[in-house]
A and B are shown apart, each in its own frame.
Chain A
Amino acid sequence: MKLKSKACAAPYLVWMVAFIVAPLLMVIYFAFTDKNGKFTLDNLSGLSQYAPVFVRSILLAAIATVICLVLAYPLSFMLSRLRANKQRIMLMLVMLPMWMNFLLRTYAWMTLLERNGLINKFFGLFGLGPFNMINTQGAVVLGMVYNYLPYMILPLYTIMVKIDDSLIEAAEDLGAGLFHKVTKVLLPLSLPGITTGITMVFVPSISTFIISRMLGGGSNLLIGDLIELQFLGNSYNYNLGSAMSLVLMVLVLLCMSLTNMMDSESKEGGVL
């Protein structure tokens, strides 16, 4: 009997309509209506006062993504060249922090970074500090990098194990030093992994609210925090919250299509 592949998607289709499409339509509806259900653009136009928060969110998420990429890229290459049994152990070590509760991990950083936290106590032994580390943008970026780094490593590693050693040797054979081996062979071949990694780090980073609230204090609010306030906080205004979510979604889509454009452009770059 032939398996109809389209039919296999049916269960998910139901799920998608019920829990993704319908809520999305509701978000759009609320974003363009006021409390009485009348059409309005006020929600969207009112967002301009939050522009600094949007800019900060994009900036911090972008910085965190770049740091993750810089840390993960060489590491993933190293991992992919290890022997199979060592690869498994190292991958487990990379994943290890992910097995611990997200909140717990972030709380741990709070106690580490606090004014009389462990790190400042350590510096105090040498008569240094105390340094002001918690409630800064740096702490927020640190929290993002710490929590989302594995999501950058995994896609990069997955694509790099598929790059055969002989391709790198061939490049070297044809006259490529380290720089050209990376730029002419490794980077173009690992590009799909890079775009996936960027997506998987940037998207949760730009919409996080726990990290910024716990490590950023009140002064470094991100869009995620603003949206949360509209639904759970004092300012309770789900029309505004929906408008913010919508704009955030558009921003993420824009950023993603930018990275994807980079991906497909480089593929055409090799043409005569």
Chain B
Amino acid sequence: MDNNTIVALKDIVVDFDGEAVLTGLSLDIHDKEFVTLLGPSGCGKTTTLRVIGGFLEPKSGSVFFNGKDITRLPPYKRQVNTVFQKYALFPHLNVYENVAFGLRLRKVEEKELKARVLEMLELVGLRGFERRDPTTLSGGQQQRVAIARALVNHPKVLLLDEPLGALDLKLRKEMQTELKRIQQSLDITFIYVTHDQEEALTMSDTVVVMNGGYIQQIGSPVDIYNEPQNAFVADFIGESNILSGVMERDFSVEFAGRQFTCVDKGFAPRALVDVVVRPEDIQVVPAIQGQLSGVVKSVIFKGVHYEILVEQAGTEWKIHSTQAQQPGEIIGMNIGPDEIHIMHKMEDQAR
């Protein structure tokens, strides 16, 4: 825990009816960062968020806020606010009163309260909606109210639980930019939970990839994408071809029935490894020029690129290419040393 850490989790254990959800999770979250907990459903990301928010008391382990242990502190005494998955706006209050809820509880003086509520509604682009009933608003507008309601309390940390999950694609993209803008203009910490890897890469300063209750990798979006630490991360972030291979020696790996040059070293001789190759990193060449060759199974137009499935000696490869190929054609594939990512075989953490 360095002094830039605002929230720290230490050895958090949570189980529901004896089923382990988090088994000793530790995580430091830096101040003023946009941190995303990313993983498939059931990976423990929402549970982690609820532990930070105080809605779930861990079976063991500690939660620190600015260095102080807040593990037993109830939610209403924590300096964090939450944007809930289903917005959770109070249906008996109008937009203004929803946003003012937290300030009224803290007995903020009426004039200041009004200024702060209106300022927040301005920030989320809902000026003029004060008297509206939240149930008459669209999903995107309700989400904005929920964000304003949380932010008006000036929390040090804002927790967001898949807040854009219910919105359509276009609105989701807009809100992603919007959230990033809000986070930067207020200069506070956002802890964001999502299962959408693209969302995570777009908005985050730091991405925490989780699976099966464990943290798989922590890093910047660029690191996570370019240097996945294991096959799970590689597979979950973007698309990947994952093959089993054997590390011959430093800078040399064997997979798909052939030896390749790579940039990795330091593995035990003849160590079993996972080899990850991104679909966009495979070069399509005439069959005789390729390191590997295979038969084109299918070609699907994806907008920017074509997704080509190739069968090569029992392995199916996914290739992204701007050039279409003919199904049934035999093509060659080249993979440069930089494009081969080698990682240790996943052990018990694999699911």
Give A residues with C-beta under 8 Å from B: 164, 166-167, 169-177, 180, 184-185, 188-189, 266-267, 270-272
Contacts and interface: CB of A to CB of B under 8 A. Distances in A.
B76 A172 contact: yes
Contacts of A171: 90, 101
Interface size range on B against A: 20 to 34
Contact of A267 (B53, B55, B80, B92): B92
B97 interface: yes
Contacts of A188: 92
6 contacts: A166-B86, A166-B88, A173-B82, A177-B74, A270-B92, A272-B97
B232 interface: no
B101 A272 contact: no
B88 A169 contact: yes
A164 B92 contact: no
A173 B76 CA distance: 5
Contact of A167 (B74, B90, B94, B130): B90
A270 B94 contact: yes
Interface in B187-246: none
A170 B97 CA distance: 14
B325 interface: no
Given A272-B96, A272-B131, A174 B88 contact: no
Nearest to B96: A272
B85 interface: yes
B75 interface: yes
B81 interface: yes
B105 A176 contact: yes
B131 A271 contact: yes
A272 B153 contact: no
A235 to B, nearest CB: 51
B290 interface: no
Nearest to B100: A272
B93 interface: yes
Nearest to B153: A174
A174 B105 contact: yes
Contact of B88 (A164, A177, A184, A272): A164
Given A173-B81, A175-B105, 7 more contacts: A170-B149, A172-B55, A173-B80, A173-B150, A175-B153, A184-B105, A272-B97
A188 B91 CA distance: 10
B106 interface: yes
Interface of B: 53, 55, 74-76, 80-82, 84-86, 88-94, 96-97, 101-102, 105-106, 130-131, 149-150, 153
B91 A189 contact: yes
B193 to A, nearest CB: 14
B333 to A, nearest CB: 50
A173 B147 CA distance: 13
Contact of B101 (A166, A174, A189, A266): A174
Contacts of B106: 175
A184 B102 CA distance: 11
B74 A172 contact: yes
The 10 closest A-B pairs by CB, nearest first: A174-B102, A166-B88, A170-B88, A175-B105, A270-B93, A172-B75, A188-B92, A173-B82, A175-B76, A166-B84
A272 B93 CA distance: 9
Contacts of B131: 271-272
A185 B92 CA distance: 8
Contacts of B90: 167, 170-171, 185, 189
Contacts of B130: 272
A166 B85 contact: yes
A170 B76 CA distance: 10
A177 B88 CA distance: 17
Contacts of B105: 174-176, 180, 184
Nearest to A271: B94
A266 B97 CA distance: 14
A169 B102 CA distance: 13
Contacts of B85: 166
Contact of A170 (B74, B84, B92, B94): B84
Given A172-B75, A175-B76, A175-B102, A272 B94 contact: yes
Nearest to B80: A173
B86 A173 contact: no
Nearest to A269: B92
Given A175-B102, A270-B97, A169 B81 contact: no
Nearest to B146: A170
Contacts of B86: 164, 166
B93 A174 contact: no
Contacts of B53: 173
A172 B102 CA distance: 9
Contacts of B153: 174-175
